[in-house]
């Protein structure tokens, strides 16, 4: 990971001071504007030392006053926060059939309109990266993005992701270069790159900006073309030993069921995902099922988007309603297992299928009532995400900037230790 941007912005040669500046920037990025007193507690430093850091970073035009904080008595303290737009990160959301790109700045604001590219995950890695790079360069040129402010790139993608190695073991596999996916991105984009699972992006967005904010034990269910699970325990996102936690969609639930692309039979994804929904609808319509979905063109029928089925349900199409109800019931059975394993206070439904709302939540709740112990299920609230379909890009930005700042901190500690 090539780290150089912040060193130029901070104009700091003292390694000890540089380390504390990175820590302060990370604190303000995650928590927003803070008082000197709060920063002292977070950083374990004295007020004079924190004020010295603040003044130095203000001189670098990275920190400014953001109003006044609360006070029990006496003068209200100043709040200090990051200056808008000083640090940018490219965020890329790779989905099954298309890819979204945007730029987000250090105060969590989207800088440019999110662009959707016809770039499916099934492409060859080399071709995918070359097309993506061209689209990114076009966006930066057309929006006149200040490249000197780009700290790196955060990529969200489905599949088994080892974040430490920067590799995806499910998609965009390498056939000849023998390098991790993150390294391949870095070679093409010439930026530090963080790779993460898409459901973890959704979870980070909910934890920092959504309904999971301030909660301790929450599960985020991503219901898109596949099924993924984000796990928040003790207020922190838990990824497991290798980053592979949350593969709910690949737990077999149907005896001698349909073959899943993971190689097993009867996985939850084969009966309760966007892929399953589309496949069932296509098969039934071709078999002559009575539905307004019969009006779809051959091209639309080839891959029926979940939102088309949801729109039909909203218009009263009984077949579409039943199709969504079946998915909700199957998902409810899976959720029952999760509730008894994790005892969450909150479950957040996100993704395309979550937009079906009552068509899946009512049968989902009925299944939970059937399969889950009463004493446990009554302690869990199930809600639908309020953040919108592009929300996980915010989660990618959170994770990406945090990991890149951690890399700066680690690098500075090593340099300081060598000097000492």
In the chain, domain spans: 5-83, 88-198+392-400, 211-384
Distance between CA atoms of 246 and 49, rounded to whole angstroms?
42
Q: What CATH homologous superfamily does 211-384 map to? A: ATPase, nucleotide binding domain (3.30.420.40)
User: Using 50, 70 and 90 to split pLDDT, how confident is the model at 297?
Assistant: confident
Tens digits of residue pLDDT in 196-213: 999 999 999 999 999 999
Query: Residue 5 pLDDT more than 70?
Result: no
| 23-48 residues labelled b (16+ CB within 10 A) or e (exposed) | bbbbbbbeeebbbbebbbebbebeee
pLDDT of the residue at 419: 62
Tens digits of residue pLDDT in 107-153: 999 999 999 999 999 888 999 999 999 999 999 999 898 888 999 99
What tokens were used for 117? 């590219």
Tell me if domain 5-83 and domain 88-198+392-400 are identical in fold: no
Rounded to a whole number of angstroms, the CA Rg of the chain reads 23
User: Average pLDDT of the chain?
Assistant: 90
CATH architecture observed for domain 5-83: Orthogonal Bundle (1.10)
Q: Mean pLDDT across the stretch 266-273?
A: 92
Q: Which of 302, 311, 322 is nearest to 352 (CA)?
A: 311
Topology annotation, domain 88-198+392-400: Nucleotidyltransferase; domain 5 (3.30.420)
Percent of the chain exceeding pLDDT 90 equals 65
Secondary structure element (H or E) that encloses residue 120, with its range: none
> Which pairs count as long-range contacts for 314-322, CB under 8 Å and 24+ apart, including other chains?
317/291, 317/292, 317/293, 318/291, 319/284, 319/289, 319/290, 319/291, 319/293, 320/281, 320/291, 320/292, 320/293, 321/359
Burial class (CB in 10 A: 0-12, 13-18, 19+), 236: exposed
Distance between CA atoms of 225 and 158, rounded to whole angstroms?
10
User: Using 50, 70 and 90 to split pLDDT, how confident is the model at 58?
Assistant: very high
User: Using 50, 70 and 90 to split pLDDT, how confident is the model at 12?
Assistant: low
Percent of the chain exceeding pLDDT 70 equals 95
Distance between CA atoms of 394 and 91, rounded to whole angstroms?
8
User: Using 50, 70 and 90 to split pLDDT, how confident is the model at 1?
Assistant: low
∠ CA(59), CA(63), CA(68), 5° rounding? 125
pLDDT of the residue at 296: 86
């Amino acid at each position: 990971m090539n780290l150089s941007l912040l060193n130029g912005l901070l104009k700091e040669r003292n390694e000890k001071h540089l380390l504390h500046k990175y820590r302060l920037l990370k604190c303000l990025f995650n928590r927003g504007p803070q008082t000197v007193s709060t920063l002292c507690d977070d950083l374990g430093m004295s007020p004079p030392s924190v004020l010295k850091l603040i003044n130095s970073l203000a001189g670098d035009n990275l920190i400014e006053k953001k109003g006044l904080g609360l006070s029990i008595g006496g003068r209200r303290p100043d709040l200090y926060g990051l200056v808008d737009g000083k640090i940018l990160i490219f965020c890329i959301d790779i989905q099954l059939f298309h890819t979204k790109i945007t730029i987000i700045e250090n105060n969590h604001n989207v800088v440019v309109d999110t662009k959707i590219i016809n770039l499916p995950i099934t492409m060859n890695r080399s071709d995918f990266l070359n097309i993506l790079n061209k689209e990114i360069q076009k966006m930066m040129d057309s929006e006149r993005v200040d490249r000197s402010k780009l700290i790196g790139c955060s990529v969200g993608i489905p599949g088994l992701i080892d974040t430490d190695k920067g590799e995806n073991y499910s998609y965009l596999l390498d056939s000849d270069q023998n390098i991790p996916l993150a390294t391949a991105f870095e070679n093409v984009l010439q930026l530090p790159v963080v790779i993460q699972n898409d459901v973890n992006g959704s979870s980070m967005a909910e934890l920092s900006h959504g309904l999971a904010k301030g909660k301790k034990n929450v599960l985020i269910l991503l219901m898109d073309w596949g099924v993924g699970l984000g796990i928040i325990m003790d207020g922190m996102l838990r990824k497991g030993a290798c980053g592979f936690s949350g593969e709910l969609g690949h737990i077999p639930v149907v005896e001698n069921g349909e073959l899943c692309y993971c190689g097993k039979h009867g996985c939850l994804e084969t009966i309760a995902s966007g892929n399953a929904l589309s496949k069932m609808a296509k098969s039934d319509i071709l078999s002559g099922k009575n539905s307004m979905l019969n009006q779809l063109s051959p091209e639309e029928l080839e891959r029926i988007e979940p939102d088309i089925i949801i729109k039909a349900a909203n218009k009263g199409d009984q077949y579409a309603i039943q199709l969504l109800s079946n998915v909700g019931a199957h998902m409810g059975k899976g959720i029952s297992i999760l509730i008894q394993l994790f005892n969450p206070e909150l479950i957040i439904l996100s993704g395309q299928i979550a937009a079906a709302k009552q068509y899946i939540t009512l049968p989902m709740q009925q299944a939970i009532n059937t399969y889950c112990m009463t004493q446990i299920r009554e302690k869990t609230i199930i809600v639908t995400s309020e953040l919108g379909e592009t929300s996980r890009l915010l989660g990618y930005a959170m994770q990406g900037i945090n990991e890149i700042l951690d890399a700066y901190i680690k690098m500075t500690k090593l340099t300081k230790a060598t000097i000492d």
